[in-house]
Amino acid sequence: MKYYLILISIIIGGTILPGCLQFKTVSYEVTMFTENSGEVKIQINDIRSDAETDEVFEEDKIALFETILESQQFIDDMNLEGKFISSRDLFVESGNLNGKGVYRFDEIGKVEGMVYADGFYYITFEPADSIVSTNGQIFITDQYKRIVWDKSIKTLTFEMLSNTFEEGSYRELAPFYQRQK
């Protein structure tokens, strides 16, 4: 599960980007208001592009800086997906471009496919996915990794490693964001 391309994941899911924005880690803090509704705070660290051409790199920058970060259309699209964005931001820290966002949801399944059943929340990943940290309990089988939380836990947290950037060619975006300000 290569974490939903970036701010897509970041700010929340579903848009298709021209190249492919990548990131090192993504962390979620899911605060439950009811058994099925709540708010998500998400942070994505070290956002880069894997674009192979200058043209595709420009498209990635436009998608990130103009569409995801600035456009009302992105907000409208996410609303249609059941993710009601209240904030979105990009920032440079230690030379890396990071993003954060907050959204409300009325159906737990809108949070990366999380499930509530029989008094437990859970989210399932591919066996190769790397769970960095969580306040839930991790179960690992040959078929999947699953994080499980008892319903008494009102803030569900987990962080995933997406890309170590050890293989391939990636273009940093932080210098270009600084020019956007």
Q: In this predicted model, what pLDDT tens digit does every residue of 21-30 receive, in sequence order?
A: 999 999 999 9
Question: Does residue 17 surpass a pLDDT of 90?
Answer: no
The proportion of the chain whose per-residue pLDDT surpasses 70, expressed as a percent, equals: 87
Higher pLDDT, 4 or 77: 77
Q: CA-based angle 101:59:17, to the nearest 5?
A: 55
Taken as a whole, the chain contains a residue count of 181
Run of H or E including 38: strand 38-45
Q: What is the largest CA-CA distance in the chain?
A: 51
- Which 3 state secondary structure label does DSSP give 75? helix
Question: Does residue 10 surpass a pLDDT of 70?
Answer: no
Where is average pLDDT lowest: 124-128, 137-141, 174-178?
174-178
| CA atoms within 13 Å, Cβ hemisphere of 13 | 19
Higher pLDDT, 10 or 22: 22
In angstroms, rounded to a whole number, what is the distance separating the alpha carbons of residues 153 and 163?
29
Query: Which pLDDT tens digit goes with each residue over 59-114?
Result: 999 999 999 999 999 999 999 999 999 999 999 999 999 999 999 999 999 999 99
Tokens of 155: 């803030």
Average confidence (pLDDT) over 52-58: 93
